[in-house]
Structures are given as C-alpha cells and as structure tokens.
Amino acid sequence: MEGSEIAQLTWMAGQSASELRSALRRVLPGLDAEPIVVHRSEGRADPRWHSATAVIDDAFVAKFAWSRVAAVRIHREGEILVALRSAAPHLRLPEVVATSSDPTLLVTRLVSGAPLRSSEIAALDNAGLDRAAAEIGGFLAELHDPAVLAQVRRVAPMAVPEPQADTEVLRQRFGNWVSDQQRETVLCWCDWTDTVLGRPSPPHVLVHGDLHGYNQVWDMTVPALRAVVDFDISGPTDAEFDFRYLPSQSSRPDFCRAIVRHYQRKSGRVIDLERVMAWHMRTVLGDALWRSEAAVELPDGGTPSSWVEGLAQRMIDAGVNPQVP
C-alpha cells in the first residue's frame, strides 16, 4: 500500500455495534438499521489484532478495526479479494459488497455453512475424507498458480506472511510453560526449524496465510468447500506455508496426506513435508505461547504441555525426524 493511501485510512474507536452502525450509515445506507451481531475480538494487547467481525441481518459480514495497523490489514484484504475475483474467478471466495477507507470497513456477502471441525473430519468415511481433501487441495492448487500472484501483485498491496512466533521467541519464553524435558525438546525443534527454513525457498506463490478450519466455510453433508475467508495476511511466500495448519486439522493423519496428494496432482508442485512441519511448529507453539501469556484458554482445553505432546506425534505421523534426544 502506498504511503498516501495509508495516510487516508481512518478507523473506529472500538468494537461496539453503535460505532459500526454509524460507519454503515455512511458506506451502505440502509444496512445500519438491520440487526447486527458483533463477534468481539479476544483480548490481545497487540494493535495488529484490534479488529472484529459482525454479521448484519444474517446476510452480510462486516470487518472493521480500531487501530491503524489493523485497518491497514482490512483495507489490504478488500483489495486482494477484488483482485482475486479477476485473477482466479473460480476460487470460492466471499463476494465483496463494499469497501471503505474512512472509516476502514470491508463488507462481504455471508456464505452459509459451517467451519471445518476435526470432529466432523473424524466422522467421514474414506470416500468423504478423500473428497474433503480434494476440495482443499484443489483450492490451494488454484490459488498458488504463479499467474495468480503475478496478476494480484500488480493491483493489490501484500505483506509477507509470518506464523505466530519465530524460533528466538520460542527459545526464550516457551520453556516457562512446560517441563524441563519438554523445554529441551522445543529447543531442538527450534534448531531443526531454523535449518529447514534456512534452505533456499521454493518459488513464491500467493498464499492465503491463515488456512485453519474456522476460515473455511463448508457444507459437510457433501462434503463441499463453499468459501475460504479472511485474506488479511495473504501475500507471497512458499506454498508450504499454506499447509501449516493442516497437520492438526484432524486426528487422522491420512487427511493431511490426502490433501498433499491431491494438491500435487493438480498443481504439479511437490510439497516439502519438512518445510510444512517447520511452519507448523512455529504456528502451534506460537499460538500456545501467546494464549498462555495472555491468559486466554487454549482450544479444546489444551495446555502448552499437551500441545507439545500432540506436535511430537504429528511429527512422527508426517515421517519427519527433528532428531529430538
């Protein structure tokens, strides 16, 4: 984003429905009178995460911010979604209804469906699991087409996606939340991750950047992927980055393997599983760290210790050996 565009952005003072109504009155007159349900953001001090979503009249989704850096992210997402509609028209994306820079606001049409939950994946038969894997693998193969990055890059601003923590932060602070033995394991993983991600990077593609189950909208009766949402950290990096959540998406390791198989078949690109698991390690432990330090409950009642145990099993399932002593 150009400096002049950033200077023109404004944002809200908070995440109240009344403030959102005032913004809608300026951007989409008429919607401000409809029922609004704000999904409040979890308490995070970092201004990057000072943003929230709201459902309007069960038909639209609004994203808004109350910090400058979060406003930049939302504005960028709107431009990327518009660019993707032209660059990859068959991608299943939310329809952009309106964007605004004063105040920063992104309104899309609501896509009905449900997030992809691990319990629902576990309940699929083999044919259903393969179909779901083909849906994700096909979406990513289309998004990662080099021509898509080239076209979007010409018209939309992008950032370089990063996971929740780097290895230096994990070395310094994660040990406060686990046993001494697990701390040594994490230190070993950090050294291994630095080695893996220090290798020459594959050619960059446009990644979604945050492809966890709650950024996917599904009809699980088929199953069929209806849309992928939240492109606010999308940008150019290696394709493996978009696989970073998938090893923990399901307790069934065959699900991630099937996604990789379908992706490779459709894209012609080989996925480096060591690189996937290195990004996965930084994602999982970084998520556990910020939640623990902010006193935010880990999903499914987990603990940093149980997340280390789960990550160790997924390393084995992926056939990756970080040489933990």
Q: How does residue 158 score in pLDDT terms, banded at 50, 70 and 90? A: confident
For the residues 230-234, what does the mean pLDDT come to? 94
pLDDT tens by residue, 69-111 = 999 999 999 999 999 999 999 999 999 999 999 999 999 999 9
- Is the model's pLDDT at 300 over the cut of 80? yes
Percentage of the chain lying above the pLDDT 70 cut? 96
What pLDDT score does 173 carry? 98
| DSSP label at residue 47 | G
Helices (H), ranges, 88-123: 118-122
What pLDDT score does 157 carry? 83
Q: How does residue 152 score in pLDDT terms, banded at 50, 70 and 90? A: very high
- Start-to-end C-alpha separation, the chain: 46
- Is the model's pLDDT at 43 over the cut of 90? no
For the residues 200-218, what does the mean pLDDT come to? 96
Measured between alpha carbons, how far is residue 301 from residues 31, 270, 298, 305 in Å? 38, 35, 6, 12
pLDDT tens by residue, 220-229 = 999 999 999 9
- Is the model's pLDDT at 44 over the cut of 90? no
- Is the model's pLDDT at 4 over the cut of 80? no
pLDDT tens by residue, 246-295 = 999 999 999 999 999 999 999 999 999 999 999 999 999 999 999 999 89
Cis peptide before 223 (omega within 30 of 0): yes
pLDDT tens by residue, 128-143 = 999 999 999 999 999 9
| DSSP label at residue 212 | -
Q: How does residue 40 score in pLDDT terms, banded at 50, 70 and 90? A: confident
C-alpha 118/C-alpha 44 separation (Å) is: 26
Mean pLDDT of the chain: 93
For the beta carbon of residue 90, count every other beta carbon within 10 angstroms. 8
Map out the domains of the chain with their CATH numbers: 3-109 (3.30.200.20), 118-317 (3.90.1200.10)
Query: Looking at beta carbons, which pairs linking 182-188 to residues 24 or more positions away fall under 8 Å?
Result: 182/305, 182/308, 184/325, 185/308, 185/312, 185/324, 186/285, 186/308, 188/322, 188/323, 188/324, 188/325
Q: How does residue 201 score in pLDDT terms, banded at 50, 70 and 90? A: confident
Query: Contact, 36 vs 14, CB < 8 A?
Result: no
- Is the model's pLDDT at 199 over the cut of 80? yes
- Is the model's pLDDT at 3 over the cut of 80? no
Q: How does residue 29 score in pLDDT terms, banded at 50, 70 and 90? A: very high
In Å, how far from its chain's centre is CA 21? 27
Query: Contact, 235 vs 206, CB < 8 A?
Result: yes
Lowest-pLDDT range, 38-47, 208-217, 218-227, 264-273?
Answer: 38-47
- Is the model's pLDDT at 116 over the cut of 50? yes
